[in-house]
Structure 1
Amino acid sequence: MAKISSQDLGTLPITKLLIKQAIPAAIGILVMSLNILVDTIFVGQWIGSTAIAAINVVLPVSFFIAALGMAIGVGGSSIISRALGANEKSKALKTFGNQITLTLVLTITMVIFGLGFVDEIVPAFGGKGNILEPAKIYYIIVLYGVPFLALSMMGNTVIRAEGKPKFAMYAMMIPSVGNLALDYLFINLLDWGMAGAAWATTIAYVLCFAFIFWFFLSKNSELKLKRCHFGLNRSIVLEIGSLGFVTLARQAIVSVTYLLMNNILFDLGGESSVTAYAIVGRMLMFALFPVYGITQGFLPIAGFNYGAMKYNRVKDTIFIAIKYASIFATVVFVLLMVFPEAITKLFTNDSQVILETPPAMRWVFGVTPIIAVQLIGAAYFQAIGKAKQALLLTLLRQGFFFIPLIFIMPIFYGELGVWMAFPISDILATLVTAYFLNREIIKNLNPEIKRLKSTI
């Protein structure tokens, strides 16, 4: 795969460019998702199904803290992409330095808070009954590695903003492979149980950080920082915050959703229902890797060309990204409708979990072919720096539709109602996103209209 510079984002043909950006992103997401998937299989087979539920309890807490890094990364990378497109290298450097400072301060503060309230946080997120003790073991150890994960997630988005998707892919692959090897060593050979699973994950975060740290020190990166770049700049921090808040809000909603789902399903169906949700959640991360890869590849292309005022290229990028993402989403839909039982048996031998998970999986992935519109639509507004629209569209599915539905639907349909909430919220969110995206294309991605506005 040929090397890509940031300037290529504004010149290469869109389809070729999207492929060059999306394939490494998709491979990286695939490997990371496989890591999570196989990690869950190892834990389920070597420790037990309760351990799967315990990890599912901890994930929203650790991922929310790590999402601070992702939020700062995505917000800052939107600025960096547009700055590079407008040939404002100094602004790109200052933004990157501010991203590092913000990530360190915020994540370390959150980890200290998280470790101070272990006994309150773990039960609140569904760590009850037999799930409580293994969840606490996993939680404490993993939290030590979360700042490294946050810095890695932040740095990974900056690497993409530079137009270096291969290195971003490597950054996702290295810790994934390391985690699986350490899982085998710590859980299977050394018999460390939940502590082994936790230490494997934590060390994997450190490996990821080490690679990204090397990248920015090497000649591969265009962004060479000096001490002056780390001092916080108010306008840059506010712009990072406004755009990054979209990502943070998304992860906050994901964490709240995990909290509510774990508790609602525990009350309706007990530990087996929580485990079924954990398995379905892993498949959501794994199966849609090509769609997420296209979305990740789309972001720097849209941001760069919008900053360079190449609006026809932005418009073409939107349509091409939606087309390819929809094709892959349809393939995923077919596979999961046909093989849910076989997939479930990979994770556990628990007969009750095997009984509950396949129908849940079919409901959750019931309208997968249409989700490309909502993912690309929300990503577009974030890429071009329109934080309010991006925030609205990001929160639509889970915040405005899904969370109310998981309280309403069980009143009429019991546990089935929880699973039915997934496709209903997807349909509603896609319709609203399509409306806003279509309006944006008509009003603001027409070069003639943009030129007319600029003369008024």
Structure 2
Amino acid sequence: MRNHNTALLLQGNLRTLLVKLSLPGIAGMLLIALNGLMDAFFVSRLVGQAAFAGVTLALPLLVLNSAVTSMLSSGAALLYSRQLGRLEHGVYGRVLLYQLLCMAVVAAACLALLGCVAAKPVLYSSGGRADVLQHATLFYKISCAGCFPSVMGLCISGLLRAGGQFKKVMVITGVTVLLNLVLHPLLIQWLGMGTGGAAVASVISMSVYMLLTLRLFLRLHPAAITNIRLQWHAMKEILLTGLPALLMQLNGLLRQFVLFRLVMLTAANIQQFTFFAAVYRLFSFAAIPAMGVLQALQPVLGASYGAGNYTRVKKAKSVFCTGLVVLMVITAIPGLLWPQQLLLLLLDKATLQQAPLWCFRLVLLVLPLMPFASTGIVLLQATGQRKTATAITGTREVLLFLPLIYTATAQWGYAGVFYGLFAENVLYSGAVWLLARYAFTGALRKQQKYASA
């Protein structure tokens, strides 16, 4: 018999599931975002501005670690949720956990080696000098050397969320954040470890996170790593299914680099550059809740598809997309109505007086468009359309973002950055919505044709 969580994913009311699964997912994502801010905050307050600059310089390079983790985590989670409607007693979960363990060891070893060898020259080429370079190198090396707990812990939590264990994962995340909050000042100031203490605090916290998630998973899947062998096919499936997540992370890094470089070239003064940086940070933070809803959507789509309930797959995608649009509208309203009050959180009054507030409002209008693309990608991944999902995420920057953003800035200068961002998101959201619908309908017809034959 299926367990309670699996039954909910397969038979529960979709609107109820939207709320029940999304709220813990959103809370978990906000906690993770808060966790990521601690390094910069405590280093700035307890070590100094050079250390703060060094940590800030190193953080973008850690996107590679995050991208590899996202690939393994999302790939395994989507495969696991797809099997919930087919297999019992956690057999597939045991297989995936062992494959993830082996892949995480290899990935962490490669990332650690890269961090130790390439840290200083890469950070130097990124603009690090003198004390800033020293702090950045120390932080980056320790973060890479101790990345295994983070990679493995987030992969296990992905499997747990795929099985509907959102609340328990959120509690574990909360415990980790509190531990990190205590360890940062303890290691940085009281034990005199400085910038290295910030990195060590994160490594220790993620080690506890890994152990807690592993303990929970083993309780739900007894003897999870016994009598299991390496399965190259399963590893390949994890990598290929999670490849769109990797590409989205790396594309985000490219997008950030291009945008800030174009702003630097087109801004008339430092105030315009600071304004864009504030807009970018507020927009990124406003988009965080969407990730919680998408994490909730993945197991619902995967389990329903695995059980052969294609009508529920289509309906679930529609319900979650509608709910996410409403959430993003609610999130955007404060910025649309009171942009000055929000921007004052990051900008001084002098900078704000010269700021083009309509640009902030234009960027916020992107938020309600995002669900059409993001839910479409999740639909493709969850239903086995990995090639289409990979093609879409892999070509977005080349086919849409780069041509539009460079054309817009060439035509309108600084304002063109905002015009280009809005136009690119409109076209991308519409294109993904149509492609996902077409691909899913085509796959469904093939399934029906195969079944009738």
TM-score, normalised relative to structure 1 = 0.85
Deviates more, 1:316-325 or 1:389-398: 389-398
Q: 1:303 to 1:179 in 2, by over 3 A?
A: same
Partner Cα separation in structure 2 for residue 114 and residue 86 of structure 1: 41
Q: Is the 8 A contact 1:156 1:171 kept in 2?
A: no
1:71 alignment partner in structure 2: 71
Map of 1:364 onto structure 2: 363
* Separation in structure 2 between the aligned mates of residue 81 and residue 93 of structure 1, nearest angstrom: 13
Residue deviations 1:138-183 (CA, integer Å, cap 9, x gap): 3233323322221122111101122211122223323333333444
Residue number in structure 2 paired with 1:252: 250
Tell me the equivalent position of 1:147: 148
How far apart in 2 are the matches of 1:316 and 1:27?
Answer: 25
What does 1:144-293 align with in structure 2 at a 5 Å threshold? 144-185=145-186, 194-217=195-218, 219=219, 221-222=220-221, 224-229=223-228, 231-265=229-263, 279-293=278-292
* Aligned equivalents of 2:207, 2:274: Cα separation in 1: 28
CA apart distance, 1:205: 2.5
| Distance in 1 separating the partners of 2:356 and 2:144 | 29
Q: Residue 326 of structure 1 corresponds to which residue in structure 2? A: 325
Which residue is 1:387 aligned to? 386
Equivalent positions of 1:4-15 (< 5 A) are 4-15=4-15
Tell me the secondary structure at the aligned position of residue 292 of structure 1.
Answer: helix
**What is the CA distance between 1:91 and its match in structure 2?**
3.5
What CA deviation, in whole Å up to 9, does each residue of 1:77-136 have, x standing for no partner? 222122221116433321221112111111221221122011232244564799655433
Q: Distance in 2 between matches of 1:13 and 1:376?
A: 19
Q: CA deviation at 1:194?
A: 4.3
Cα gap change, 1:393 to 1:84, in 2 (>3 Å): same
1:295-444 equivalences under 5 Å are 295-347=294-346, 361-395=360-394, 397-398=396-397, 400-440=399-439, 442-444=441-443
Measured at CA, do residues 359 and 53 of structure 1 come closer, stay the same or move farther in structure 2, by a change above 3 Å?
Answer: farther
Report SS of the residue matched to 1:225. coil
Residue identity in the other structure for 2:254: V
Letter in 2 for 1:177: L
Q: AA paired with 1:248?
A: L
Does structure 2 retain, via aligned residues, the 8 Å contact 1:265–1:415? yes
Aligned to 2:146, what secondary structure does the other structure show?
Answer: helix
Counterpart code for 1:426: N
Give the Cα separation in 2 of the matches to 1:118 and 1:83.
40
Equivalenced residue count is: 449
**Paired residue type of 1:319:** S
Shift in Å at residue 417 of structure 1?
3.1
CA contact (8 A) 2:93 2:224 kept: no
**Which runs of no fewer than 5 residues in structure 2 stay unpaired?**
none
Residue 31, structure 1, aligned to residue 26, structure 2: no
In terms of mean alpha carbon deviation, does 40-49 or 207-216 score higher? 40-49
Amino acid at match of 1:240: I
Structure 1 unaligned spans of 5+: none
Q: Which moved more, 1:190-199 or 1:375-384?
A: 190-199
Residues 265, 274 of structure 1: 8 Å contact kept:
yes
Report the Cα distance in structure 1 between the residues aligned to 2:41 and 2:357, rounded to whole angstroms. Answer: 16
Contact kept, 8 Å, 2:278 with 2:347, in 1: the verdict is no
Q: From the superposition, tell whether residues 131 and 172 of structure 1 become closer, same or farther in structure 2 (CA, over 3 Å).
A: same
Segment of structure 1 superposing worse, 12-21 or 416-425: 416-425
Is 1:112 equivalent to 2:110 in the alignment?
Answer: no
Deviates more, 1:149-158 or 1:435-444: 435-444
2:84 alignment partner, SS class: helix
**Do the aligned residues in 1 keep the contact of 2:369 with 2:429 (CA within 8 Å)?**
yes
TM-score (ref. length: structure 2): 0.85
Distance 1:28 1:175 in 2: 11
Give deviations 1:20-72, integer Å, cap 9, x for gaps.
Answer: 22121111012222333566566666777776665444233213223212211
Confirm or deny: 8 A CA contact 2:50 2:132 kept in the other structure. Answer: yes
Report the 3-state secondary structure (helix = DSSP H, G, I; strand = E; otherwise coil) of the residue aligned with 2:87: coil
Tell me, in whole angstroms, the C-alpha distance in 2 between the residues paired with 1:128 and 1:404: 34
Question: Which residue identity does 1:454 align to in structure 2?
Answer: A
SS at structure 2 position matched to 1:85: coil
Q: Judge which range, 106-115 or 378-387, deviates more.
A: 106-115
Question: Alpha-carbon deviation of 1:455?
Answer: 1.3
Structure 2 CA distance for partners of 1:98 and 1:14, relative to 1, 3 Å: same
Shift of the 47–405 alpha-carbon distance from structure 1 to 2, 3 Å rule, reads farther
Q: Distance in 2 between matches of 1:357 and 1:179?
A: 38
Q: Cα offset for 1:454?
A: 1.9
Deviation of 1:228 after TM superposition, in Å, equals: 3.7
Give secondary structure in 2 for the equivalent of 1:424.
helix
8 Å Cα contact 1:155/1:212 also seen in 2: yes
